[in-house]
Amino acid sequence: NAGKSCKIGLSLIYPCPVTGGVTLEEVFRENISLIKSVNPDTVIVNPPGVFPKTQWMERAQDYGFSIKPGFVAKFMSYEYSIYKPTELWEDLGYSLQGMDSFALLKEAGRLRKEILNLGIPTDISDEYLMMTEAIGYKTRQDLLKFKSLSLLDIMSGSSRYIKNIVRQINERSREMASQESEERGDRGLA
């Protein structure tokens, strides 16, 4: 469809298990190379997690994970926030190839920082990509501003910016629904 927008979000798990002589630094460089090649609108970076019934849990040692007793109960009720400073996190109860949970989070943060240095916003979901575009946020600068001001609202306990964004999104959604209805010739409920 000519003239239609297409937003690209890339999601990575980093750091990740490395095997066969591959180093984490090589994975880091390859991730950066991939990001430069794809040139996405945003990149979501998630630290590795070992979840029940997954290969990483079932074969933890094969992948380099070390899991503490009671891990599952703690992990499934853990308060996860990528914006919380690493120092404020509790130990997640697992490590990967010698990196404890704090080192894993710091390494994920290192990749986020490098992505931001490329001018690419991080951790903006595909839903937000679509919603922000609908209200006129079309450039990376717009997305960086959106993320910065949203985070400022969260950190300050304010909601002024977010409420304004929600209002704009709701208005735009109603406009789009009305246009769609008119194009179909709907007469509404009688």
**CB proximity list for 7: less than 8 A, separation 6 or greater:** 41, 42, 126, 129, 130, 133
pTM above 0.85, yes or no: no
Estimate the crossing angle of helix 140-156 against helix 126-134, to 10 degrees. Answer: 110
Residue 185 has a pLDDT of 75
Residue 190 has a pLDDT of 47
* pLDDT-flagged residues of the chain (< 50): 190
